[in-house]
Structure 1
Amino acid sequence: MKLDTDKVYEGFRLIEKKEINEINSTGMLFEHEKSGAKLFYLKNEDDNKVFSISFRTPPKDSTGLPHILEHSVLCGSRKFPLKEPFVELVKGSMNTFLNAFTFPDKTMYPVASRNNKDFLNLMNVYLDAVFYPNIYKYPEIMMQEGWHYELENKDSEISYKGVVYNEMKGAFSSPESILFRKISEYLFPDTQYGKESGGDPDFIPNLTQEQFLDFHKKYYHPSNSYIYLYGDIDIIEKLKFLNEEYLKDFTRQNVDSELLYQKPFDKTRENTIKYPISSNEKEEDKTFLSMNFSVGKATDPEIYLAFDILEHLLLETPSSPLKKALIDAKIGKDVFGTFEGGILQPMFSIIVKNSNENEKEKFINIVKETLCKLVKDGIDKKLIEASINIKEFQLREADYQGYPKGLIYSMKAMDSWLYDENPWIHLAYEDTLKKIKSSLSSRYFEDIIEKYILKNNHSSILIVKPAKGLEEEKEASIRKKLNEYKESLSDKEIENLINNTNALKKRQVTPDTPEDLQKIPLLSIKDLDSHAKKVSLMEKEENGVKILYHPEFTNGIAYVNMYFSTEGIKEEMIPYISILSTVIGKVSTENYHYEDLAKEINIYTGGIRYAVETYSEKGDSEKFYPKFVVKSKVLVNNISKLLTLIGEILAHTKYDDYKRIKEIIQETKSRLEMVIFEKGHVVSASHLFSYFSPIGKYDDMVSGLAFYKFIVDLEKNFDEKAKEISYNLHEVAKNIFNKNNLIVNVTTDEKDYESFSKQFCLVYNELGENRTAKVEYNFEFSPKNEGLMTSGKVQYVAKAYNFIKLGYSYTGGLLVLKTIANYDYLWNKVRVQGGAYGSFAAFYKNGNMFFTSYRDPNLKETLDTYDGAGAFFKNFNADDRQMTKYIIGTISDLDFPLTPSMKGERAAEYYIKHINYEDIQKEREEVLNVTIDDIRGFGDLISSAMEKNYLCVMGNEEKIKQNELLFNDLIDLFE
């Protein structure tokens, strides 16, 4: 149906239409006449449909009100009055995305699904949640999701509890997170960006129930909403649904959600703040230095894209001049930048990590001198071309692994729409890109540097430095404050607090009624495809090398992955495989200096990456296949250049540039520290596998805590070990990169495969021909049960074992068990009742299984919860509707849509693991046919695994020491 501008459709007036060729879509901008709701529809043929409703929500303080409200509106509503509709949807819908986001100035509620019936169901639940939440009926919702005083009896200590409170305590544990949050606060002190929309734990307990409800009343109105639809949908049907079910009941209002501009500074401002480290950590080389700039407006598409490219150019590649100057000056061990374009006044930052406060002036001078030199002498045009090309490749590929395209486009749309500009100005990028490409023959980027950095007084210097005892002081201060508060209360007030705590706990443990559960819309099993999707795979051979070919429409891109076996590497050399993956491509080769190599890669390809991967033999707890993987992508007409570059890198890399290798090792250590803080739940669980599992031990040595300790030692003793490191890298590379170790995985259009096959010799001829014998590893295992102590404010609590070692076997029913564990048992016990931000279970085909928690205020209580899981499942009960829900939610995970590159990688993984289509179909049938008795039967599996008592906890030093009897070893994680 053709829609005409200035016509009204189901209460919506079509204001403007635009063809957005860059994303093969037609953009349509509507306004709902009665309510004032704005709607943007991106029409295209994508079957992965996306809906989002967003609100402009400028915070007035740092209590985290927008964030707490984002959590809370999803805790029951008018039509769907159960306690956790969000969780019911996760358990029982075919969603391809379901979440909500709090940004510094907006709150978004996006969903996605490929099933139209399911898509409407998701829209319905989310719309009812935001417009008619149960927060007005139940104050316990804000208590649970935000914060509350916890007091169980008059003699117990009073404490703060709440999901967001603990989430943000975790967020404020990482020095990088503190840095990024404070940059905005100090650069825009008089605006919404000077407040912490997520919530600062120091201020969250200032939030009152009245403020909480008033915020919702004010901002969650259709007149302040931004509704987004994307994909191959019946737009008239969706407009009719929006109008009749929700928007017709609202009258347009003037909602004052104005976003404030920060008045420019007349001179650079400087601030110094502290972050906590544990008692045994050293303070030297742990300071962050940053220079930060307010750069233009988000509604300027040129600055929005140009600064994204400039940040890459200056700070993200081995040839980046500013990064190189700062590293060469040895004022820090890691250098990176950030550009935040998704706020009204975008900001650009230059950051040096692992430095010292006394390096501040040197840091400032080097930045200014380097940028002045670039402005005066001009930037290398090949460097500019490389950065533009890599960003253009990313824009055109639109491969957002793990996120639907439509969701990414919605976020880009909000980066202008929220600020009263058309929502497509960052999506229709061709004209902007054309202007930026003029930089190849002009002073475009030099002028930007001069105007927005060198001559920009709206800037700040922020120093974030370590301090011992800071966390202990804060905790003592909180305890004192809480004790004084309790002492100030009357008996009646204490009784009220106890009653409130009990009311919350009662609500948390009281199950929803069957009637309320029935109100959540649900697909039926017959709505599901009983057949597993086949991933195309053709086995070919080129020059005697196995080629796994996947014919897929890729829009002219070839994805070429090379899998080299590392089974011939001796045990003591295993960590060097990972060092090799971080060094290779970043050091010089015989024919390229590393800076020139980086430019060549970015000019002619979409990127070349290196990773160490391990693949378990299906159903086997012992056997696995370790690989060194070279991942690359390229436009087909440049495939010869790609293969030539890979051949050069694999066969002719020079490992004797000690200075450069030391820089890479320092940077790798720094980036690992960031991952450890951000993904503590994964780090703890993965390390725990090393206690009992061969693949777990190997993974720990190449990417886990054992590898982190290895690289800490290399960095600390580099000067004495430089020659040894160089020799080992050369020997490992010589062992790995040979023709007899190789499988190649190619994903591209059928017509383009010949381009690869004809030119494969360009890399093949460069490879060695050594035949190396497989090494049999004799790993030592023991229940180390480590307490990994940090200065963090929360815990990551893991318990695990291998169920195949206990005599059990893998079945698809374990995937349903995972769904139930994640969104019933662990969600209720660890998150809702325990106050952790999250808790997760996993059961793998190799028998490894774990329970782990994320940003958890507890420790022993969570381990007790894991120990109780077996009994819970032995007595598990559910009606047919509930079982259908669990099955649908599990199938949703199995059917997650894959991009062409992901399909190719999935097929290669199956090939290496010897998983065939019959195995995948059998697993699917086991999911579809799982019974209550099957789930109960898994109770013994869990109990047996938990009784082995293998555990690992990363968390607060004091908390771990309080529970030291649980551990065999207490370890300071950071030096």
Structure 2
Amino acid sequence: MKINDSMNGFKILEVKDVAELKGKIVEMKHEKSGARLLWLDRPDNNKTFSIAFRTVPSDDTGIFHILEHSVLCGSKKFPVKEPFVELIKNSMNTFLNAMTFSDKTMYPISSKNDKDFFNLMEVYLDAVFYPSIYTKPEIFYQEGWHYEFDENGDISYKGVVFNEMKGVYADADSVKENALCRALFPDNCYGKESGGHPSKIPSLTYEQFINGHKKYYHPSNSYIILDGDLDIEKVTEFIDREYLCNFDAIEPSELPNVQEPVNAGKVEVMFEQSNDMPLENQSSLQMGYVIGKFDEKEKIYATHILSRYLCENNQSYLTSALLEKGYAEDAVIHVIDGILQPYIALDLKNIDENKADEIYDFVNQKLRELQSNGFDRKQLEAAISNLEFELKEKDFGYPRGLMYAMLSLETWLYDGEPTMNVLVGDIFENLRKKAENGYFENLISELFFDNEHRCVLLAKPSYTVGDSDREDEKSRLEAVKASWSDVDVEYYKNEQKKLDEWQSSVDSPEDLAKMPMITLEDIEVKPEPLPTVVDGNLLKHSIQTDGIAYINMYFDITGVGEEDLPKLSLLSNLLGELDTAKHTAAELKTELMTKCGSIAFVVSPFSDYNSTKSGSIKFVVSFSALIRYVDDALSLVQEILTSTKFDNTSQIVDIIKQSRQNKYQSIVMSGSVLAAKRSATAFSYDAVVDELTNGYSFYQWLKEQENEPTVIGELEGLAGRIFGSNNVLIGVGADDANAFDGSIKAFSASLGTSDILHELQIKPWKKSNDAVLIPGDISFSGMSVDFDGLYDGTTFLMTHIVSLDYLWNEVRVKGGAYGTGLKPVANGSLFAYSYRDPNAKASVETYQKIGDYVRDFANSDRSLVGFIIGAMSSASPLLTPRLITSGADGNYIRGISEESRLALRRQIVNTQKSDFLALADKLQNVFCSASFCVIGSKKQVDLFKNLDNKLSL
């Protein structure tokens, strides 16, 4: 393969060996259609394909977000209603999704199975180039928006994207981000809401939607990215023959405009506050600055490092100064890169709005002092090392090929070097050298003082702004309806009827048969091994980690009572944040950032396999480190566990306030799991543990402690009781897990003795139906049931079918919720949930009919094969070294053997539909009598007449 060679219509533009990737980079262009292609030829059997389009929004209607959803709702070759869902049901994908960014739309897939990879690629290519949206306007009305009539003849807006964005704008951070971008980028796409603003989405017409696809979804405007060990000849031949050869090149769509520098001055915005929260000292001050252009890589990396130096934690230079003065409860810096003009936002949370100018002046004063006095070299090196570890570890939470694809688009989209951000190179060595010559001091001037592209945003809480927005929406709808003639009313009612009929229709067997599928013979039943050698209190996992060690410590706290669980959860938030006998908190953070890639403390229940009533509770300490730093990291952990000082009340109160604020935000933004776990407290001890350490009850406890922190005097005693050498199990994942035996034994010997009993004290709570009131219009629901130890392959397969066939159609498609599902838990329970749901009451009623659905499915003539393949995919997630280590540890603690893992997968493959009949009656009984929890607005909650508790934030 050489430059200027041709391959299946593609001209090869560049071939470059790259040691950092252990492979090469190949860049091509399809000569007839104008499509660009990049292949990262690496030794990775998880193959990734992505096609992206440059989509630059000119308004807030969310056209590209709605297109992202809609093109996956049927296409020319695959005319079923939901090819995307059929793929989740029926494929062995390791990733399958689509993403809308501020200036691009991306469609990535990945799979380890060659045949499956081609199937997924074909469906996605057909979807983006030949979608059914041209002949099925119902897709736009379902995914985007439509008028919905209720039983009284009143109308409302309904649509999946509309509801999703309602949920987004229930979050104060989203409101702030939108306002800041509008101020910084008044003349280009970054000042628009690419996801769609709820007030503007209903102004998008079907005609505009179709024209958007015609303009932007052309190969000349596309970026195809391949990653992994694949047959490039075969892949390019397929893409050319089936798709690209049918198009002639055109001029690609416009690049985002470069926003000329603007000093937007001071801007104010209001966000909705819960009526149970105060307004005083709840404002936020944001200071936004544009960094420069996308190709200023060194400056962007340096800004990330500077942000960590200033605001990574409570001991960081700027955060500590603000907390000490009482100016803010928290301070963070967001670095928004991956766009044409990256920017930063310094966000000071929970301030007194009357002191905004004073706080702004103080921040600038501290920055000038830092510039004048210079950086602390150890702290700066810690920030550099921490970012360097993160980028070299490449544990992104996504398949590595997908992350490389996203990094490529951060430059390639603007006609820059495609792999600039994929490769780390020697940039950190260069920055270390420049740091010695005042580089970071000069960067402060460039970013904060000499920068004419800036904005100051004051975001203020309001009890009424949400009601005002809802009244505006109601007025718009009333005006629309008032403008309709009787003929218009009948027209829109008929459109709703057609949509309802289409949503209720069933794909024909002939159309379903057109979907490409692998067979059961194509899949591997044996699970990926989680190698574990038990050596005393050590669990050793020798796996490829590329020079990184992952160490998890499990301190047994099973015997604690309910009253101690929130205290221990707070303790997990405090460790590593306070002074110790050897270091101040600031010194400790510097050491941790230098020597550890990450470190975390958490309280976690580990229920026994197939049991909701028995198991253990662990205080888990986890860290990752380069092998050369493992001894140093162990020494730091020992110091934290045995000599943390709990005498600084102000620091502890700061952390309590931050924890409470973070928990508030998680309830408002992602309450579905919290709702499901709260409902499970009626039968599951581990749900009670979760509720008291991470749920609504913990949030309320934090609010009480924030006002009167009586717990402080107990923390040292708690720590002294639990961190003992006699109750710790340690898991090690590394290239050679035996390399640290001596170090870990010395660590264990340095600990004291625990006196915590190992007999479980936590019992399930009384059954109750609960609701938690939150601001905004969207809700979350959860309903959990005890399935009496029936966690096996048949149950696993059943939940896969219920999620993607029944709940998807009833709760998402018809109901308009953004997400829904039925999840099996290894303790033998199940939970159903809805996410960003416009009608939680209907969703709860849907859960109660799961048994009926399963019975009907068992008596149908539908095939199980595709569902079995999809369930096997769910049972075979892509695992990083970190996840292999923690997963193997968890299986050992819970009593899940390799034989159990294999048995579950064999049961999935061997399940017959008749096996579901045995489950149907039980499902009907448990769901009809189950408790539920809903988190939502007053309007949503008031629909429920059978609540036991109506709770507030």
Q: TM-score range by the shorter chain?
A: over 0.9
Alignment counterpart, residue 171 of structure 1, candidates 165, 168, 172: 168
One-letter identity of the residue aligned with 1:861: A
CA contact (8 A) 1:550 1:748 kept: yes
Task: Look up the equivalent residue of 1:937 and give its one-letter code.
Answer: A
Determine if contact 1:647/1:762 at 8 Å carries over to the other structure.
no
Counterparts in 2 of 1:323 and 1:882: CA distance versus 1, 3 Å: farther
* Equivalent residue, structure 1, for 2:561: 570
User: Match of 1:110?
Assistant: 108
Give secondary structure in 2 for the equivalent of 1:729: helix
Match of 2:738 among 735, 745, 753: 753
Does the 8 Å CA contact 1:647/1:767 hold for their aligned counterparts? yes
Residue 766 of structure 1: how far off its partner (Å): 2.3
Q: How many angstroms does 1:23 deviate by?
A: 2.9
Contact 1:152–1:498 under 8 Å retained in 2: no
* AA aligned opposite 2:420: I
For residue 643 of structure 2, the aligned residue among 652, 666, 672 is: 652
Could you give the per-residue CA deviations for residues 148-194 of structure 1, whole angstroms, max 9, x where no partner exists? 112367x5111111000000000100111211232222210110011
Distance of 2:799 and 2:671 partners within structure 1: 20
Say whether residues 1:458 and 2:453 are aligned partners: yes
Q: Cα gap change, 1:300/1:716 in structure 2, threshold over 3 Å: closer, same or farther?
A: same
Contact 2:841 2:944 in 1 (8 A): no
Instruction: Give yes or no for the alignment of 1:312 onto 2:303.
Output: no
User: Following TM superposition, by how much is the alpha carbon of 1:817 offset from its aligned partner in structure 2, in angstroms?
Assistant: 1.2
**Partner of residue 793 from structure 2, selected from 792, 812, 828:** 812
Alpha-carbon RMSD: 1.6
Structure 1 position 775, deviation (Å): 5.0
- The C-alpha deviation readout for 1:62-92, integer Å capped at 9, x for no partner, is 0000100000000000000111000000111
Paired with 1:476 and 1:646, the residues of 2 have a C-alpha distance of 54
Provide the secondary structure at the position in 2 that maps to 1:430.
coil
User: Do residues 324 (structure 1) and 320 (structure 2) align?
Assistant: yes
Q: Is this contact kept in 1: 2:770–2:950, CA < 8 A?
A: yes
Check whether the contact 1:53–1:110 (CA below 8 A) recurs between aligned residues. Answer: yes
Deviation at 1:907, TM superposition (A): 1.1
Structure 1: give runs of 5+ residues left out of the alignment: none
Output the CA distance in 1 between the equivalents of 2:764 and 2:746.
42
Partner of residue 136 from structure 2, selected from 135, 138, 159: 138
Which residue does 2:622 correspond to in 1?
A: 631
Q: CA deviation at 1:487?
A: 2.2
Letter aligned with residue 967 of structure 1: L
Match of 2:664 among 652, 660, 673: 673
1:433/1:424 CA distance change after superposition, 3 Å: same
Q: Secondary structure at the match of 1:621?
A: coil
Matched, 1:395 2:386: no
Which of 901, 925, 945 is residue 965 of structure 1 equivalent to? 945
> CA shift at 1:878, angstroms?
7.9
Deviation of residue 937 (structure 1)?
Answer: 2.8
Match for residue 53 of structure 2 among 52, 55, 78: 55
Q: Which moved more, 1:910-919 or 1:737-746?
A: 910-919
Q: Distance in 2 between matches of 1:894 and 1:565?
A: 28
Tell me which of 555, 570, 591 is aligned to 1:579.
570
Say whether the 8 Å CA contact 1:278–1:469 is kept in structure 2.
no
Q: Distance in 1 between matches of 2:197 and 2:32?
A: 38
Work out whether residues 839 and 851 of structure 1, in 8 Å CA contact, stay in contact via their aligned partners in 2: yes
User: Which deviations, in whole Å up to 9, do the C-alpha atoms of 1:615-642 show, x marking residues without a partner?
Assistant: 1111222002111111111121222111
1:843 corresponds to = 824
Q: Structure 2 residue aligned with 1:186, among 177, 183, 186?
A: 183
TM-score scaled by length of structure 1:
0.96
Contact 1:838 1:854 in 2 (8 A): yes
Q: Is the 8 A contact 1:560 1:744 kept in 2?
A: yes
- Separation in 2 of the partners of 1:109 and 1:79? 18
The partner residue of 1:789 within 763, 769, 773 is 773
Aligned twin of 1:928: 909
Equivalents in 2 of 1:473, 1:930: separation in Å? 54
Question: What amino acid does structure 1 have at the position aligned with 2:13?
Answer: I
Q: Following TM superposition, by how much is the alpha carbon of 1:843 offset from its aligned partner in structure 2, in angstroms?
A: 2.0
Aligned to 2:400: 405
* Secondary structure at 1:671 match in 2: helix
SS in 1 for 2:857: coil
Q: Which amino acid aligns with 2:490?
A: E
Q: Which residue of 1 aligns with 2:524?
A: 529
Which is worse superposed, 210-219 or 549-558? 549-558
Query: 1:703: which partner in 2?
Result: 694
Quick one: distance in 2 between partners of 1:263 and 1:664? Answer: 40
Residues 23, 427 of structure 1: 8 Å contact kept: no
Secondary structure of the 2:426 match is: helix
| Mapping of residues 493-572 of structure 1, within 5 Å | 493-541=488-536, 546-572=537-563
CA contact (8 A) 2:287 2:454 kept: yes
User: Which secondary structure does the structure 1 equivalent of 2:945 belong to?
Assistant: helix
Q: How many Å apart are 1:439 and its aligned residue?
A: 3.9
Are the equivalent residues in 1 in contact too, given 2:854–2:920 (CA < 8 A)?
Answer: yes
Structure 2: how far apart are the matches of 1:549 and 1:477?
61
- Is 2:370 aligned against 1:374? yes
Is residue 11–residue 33 contact of structure 1 (8 Å, CA) maintained in 2?
yes
Return the alpha-carbon distance in structure 1 between the equivalents of residues 562 and 840 of structure 2.
34
Task: Return the offset for 1:682.
Answer: 1.0
Match of 1:486 in 2: 481
Change (3 A) 1:949 1:539: closer
Measured after TM superposition, the shift of residue 416 of structure 1 is 0.4
TM-fit CA distance, 1:882: 3.5
Task: Name 1:894's counterpart in structure 2.
Answer: 875
Residue 22 of structure 1 contacts residue 427 of structure 1 at CA under 8 Å; is this kept in 2?
A: no
**8 Å Cα contact 1:272/1:463 also seen in 2:** yes
Counterpart amino acid of residue 110 in structure 2: A
Paired residues of 2:170 and 2:777 also in contact (CA < 8 A): yes
2:126 counterpart residue number: 128
Describe the superposition over 1:266-308 as per-residue Cα deviations: whole angstroms up to 9, x where unpaired: x342111111223443212221111010111112211222212
The structural deviation recorded for 1:318 is: 3.7
Alignment partner, residue 804 of structure 2: 823
Partners of 2:404 and 2:422 within 8 A in 1: yes
Match of 2:355 among 322, 344, 359: 359
Instruction: Tell me the distance in 2 between the aligned counterparts of 1:104 and 1:119.
Output: 28
**Contact kept in structure 1, 2:133 and 2:139, CA below 8 Å:** yes
Alpha-carbon offset, residue 881 of structure 1: 7.1
Q: Is the 8 A contact 2:609 2:828 kept in 1?
A: no
Counterpart position of 1:446: 441
Q: Displacement, 1:859?
A: 2.5
Deviation at residue 387 of structure 1 after TM alignment: 0.8
Secondary structure (helix, strand or coil) at the match of 1:299 reads coil
User: Contact 1:325–1:366 (CA<8 Å) still a contact in 2?
Assistant: no
Quote the Cα distance in structure 2 between the aligned partners of 1:326 and 1:938.
58
Structure 1 pair 171–798 and aligned structure 2 pair: CA distance change class (3 A): same
Query: Residue 64 of structure 2 aligns with which residue?
Result: 66
Does the 8 Å CA contact 2:93/2:111 hold for their aligned counterparts?
A: yes
**How far 1:586 sits from its partner (Å)?**
0.8
Query: Matched residue of 1:649: which SS?
Result: helix
| Structure 1 equivalent of residue 598 of structure 2 | 607
The Cα of 1:681 is off from its aligned counterpart by: 0.7
C-alpha distance in structure 2 between counterparts of 1:393 and 1:255, whole Å: 38
Contact 1:224 1:257 in 2 (8 A): no
Q: What is the CA distance between 1:778 and its match in structure 2?
A: 5.4
CA contact (8 A) 2:270 2:462 kept: yes
> Equivalent residue of 1:690, what SS?
helix
Residue 171 of structure 2 aligns with an amino acid whose one-letter code is S
Kept in 2, the 8 Å contact 1:272–1:462? The answer is yes
Count of paired positions: 953
Q: Post-superposition shift, 1:328? A: 1.5
Letter in 2 for 1:97: F
TM-superposed deviation, 1:48:
0.7
Give structure 1 regions of 4+ aligned residues with deviation exceeding 3 angstroms.
278-281, 877-882
Amino acid of the structure 1 residue aligned with 2:776: G
Deviation at 1:54, TM superposition (A): 0.3
Q: Contact between 1:389 and 1:602, CA under 8 Å: does it hold in 2? A: yes
Q: Identify if the C-alpha distance between structure 1 residues 457 and 878 changes in structure 2 by more than 3 Å, giving closer, same or farther.
A: farther
Equivalent residue of 1:851, what SS? strand
Change (3 A) 1:278 1:192: same
Q: CA deviation at 1:474?
A: 2.2
C-alpha contact 2:148 2:156 (8 A) present in aligned 1: yes
1:236 paired with 2:233, answer yes
Q: 2: CA distance between counterparts of 1:816 and 1:307?
A: 47
8 A Cα contact 1:38 1:226, kept in partner: yes
Deviation at 1:957, TM superposition (A): 1.7
